Amino acid sequence: MKPGVDKAVALIKKHKLTLADLKHAFSGKAGRPAKGAKKTKRVSKLKGKKAPVKFKDSDGNKWTGRGRAPLWIVEAEKAGKDRSSFAVK
């Protein structure tokens, strides 16, 4: 036998594992999802809901304030403008 198999057999005997234990361990049900199992996705509570526009500039660009800031507002902030100056009142 290979040296790894001898060690495995010794561990099986030491911990008194059964064939059912080994099948369970290698089935994917022991600590992780089985191969081919569907992964569950996290979905935001806000997904699919329309958000009101919170920021708007004179060129007609709009942003709800959700997610990453759009380039037009990032560039304006780099130019020294305050984000609150674009707030919709």
Amino acid 32: pLDDT: 64
Region of 45 (left: φ > 0; alpha: ψ -120 to 50; beta: rest) is alpha
- CATH 2.40.50.100 for the 42-89 domain, yes or no: no
> Model-level pTM?
0.47
Which pLDDT band, with edges at 50, 70 and 90, does 17 fall under? confident
pLDDT exceeds cutoff 70 at 76 = yes
Q: What is the pLDDT of residue 56?
A: 96
pLDDT tens for 31-63 read 666 666 677 788 888 788 899 999 999 999 999
pLDDT of the residue at 60: 94
Domains in the chain: boundaries: 1-40, 42-89
* E-only strand ranges, the chain: 55-56, 62-63
